[in-house]
Amino acid sequence: MTHPDTLSVHAGYQPDATGAVMPPIYLSSTYAQQAPGEHSGFEYGRSGNPSRQALEKALAELEGGSAGFAFASGLGAMSTVLELLEAGSEIVAVDDLYGGAWRLFEQVKGRSAGLKVRYVSPDDLDGLKAAITPATRLVWLEVPTNPLLKFPDIAAISAIAKEAGALTLVDATFVTPYLLQPLKWGADIVLHSLTKYLNGHSDVIGGALIVKEQALADKLRWLQNAVGAVLSPFDSFLALRGLRTLAIRMQRHSSNALSLAQWLETQAGIRAVIYPGLPSHPQYALAQRLLPQGQSGVISIRLDTDEAGLRRFVQALKIFTLAESLGGVESLINHPWSMTHAAIPQAIRVEKGVTSDLLRISVGIEHVADLQADLAQALATLTTAE
């Protein structure tokens, strides 16, 4: 059973002794032991839970890894993986990344663990090589980056990191294992916000790490238990249920987004459309090589208007909801400047291109004609005086 369409439906679970086709929700916080220290694989809910285990096994199978680990949030997963590093370690990270990751690096781990981060453009291999020092222990990538949708060459960067003795982590939240499996391109760790496409219904907060190498899996399993930011049984059940429709959802997200991106490029009032499925994307060839089955459902656009025009545009939308997050079945629109990336100092945002005219669109699975019509009527407000 290797086709991802089939795997997403069946990964992680076989009917148990009751014959239940879907895994039950095990709410128990502790488990009976046959004798002191002798148990059937579960002893305490933080250390392991059958509902969470089913999800973790499914994630590992979908990513082609040996082990998966589910956490109470994406940042919980990030915080735990950083515990692999000794105090004073260095990270080389892409310079366009999730605002919460930047906050964790700079305002938490820099203070509490002496973490030092050097930021490099995802397409600058020479700059990445130059940024790596003997203290570098981790290279942190996003595929694509958030919110400017840039692409790092995972294979080339992983090889550089390995030669330097550093691990490579890929945050693949935007693409999911249905479209890309970073472990097959040389990455050591895959990170996901389960909140987004993997769950897919905007009703779970969660995170995940997946690895292939057994020694690394053993370290993360110990840290997951020691740090304790584990996903609850009920959220594990919901996330696994979401995975069952991952293939068909990602197909629809991708086809809708490509259609809308192509249309948006022809519309007045838009200065730029950033979507990796468009030939106008500067890394179109690399994106096609990494994601031959589709480019996922996130589009970034720059409006050709002022602050008042941007406000009119987002307030006029009827189907797209102005909200943080992405990857749900419903379409969302986000203003990174004031929302997801507001934690990053203004000067850095401007320098990296996360400016106030930028909007990030999460294209849902609604009918594409309705989505296009909604955007069209909102764009019409850009020529309407208040």
Catalytic residues: 46, 98, 171, 196
Nearest one of 89, 182, 77, 78 to 138, comparing CA atoms: 89
CA–CA–CA angle 49, 55, 61 (5° rounding): 130
Report d(CA 257, CA 294) in Å as an integer: 10
- Indicate the SS3 state at residue 217: helix
* Sheet with 358-362, side-by-side order of all strands: 270-274, 298-303, 358-362, 332-334, 321-322
Report d(CA 78, CA 60) in Å as an integer: 17
Q: Name the amino acid, one letter, at 383.
A: T
Report d(CA 50, CA 154) in Å as an integer: 33
Nearest one of 148, 142, 140 to 166, comparing CA atoms: 140
Q: Are 307 and 386 in contact (CB under 8 A)?
A: no
Q: Are 66 and 60 in contact (CB under 8 A)?
A: yes
- Indicate the SS3 state at residue 171: strand
Report d(CA 54, CA 232) in Å as an integer: 12
Q: Are 10 and 1 in contact (CB under 8 A)?
A: yes
Please tell me the total number of residues recorded for the chain in this structure: 386
Q: Name the amino acid, one letter, at 370.
A: D
Beta strands in the chain (DSSP E): 67-71, 90-94, 116-120, 136-142, 167-171, 189-193, 207-211, 270-274, 298-303, 321-322, 332-334, 358-362
**Quick one: 375 exposed, middle or buried, by C-beta within 10 A (0-12, 13-18, 19+)?**
buried
Nearest one of 199, 235, 203 to 27, comparing CA atoms: 235
Q: Are 249 and 200 in contact (CB under 8 A)?
A: yes
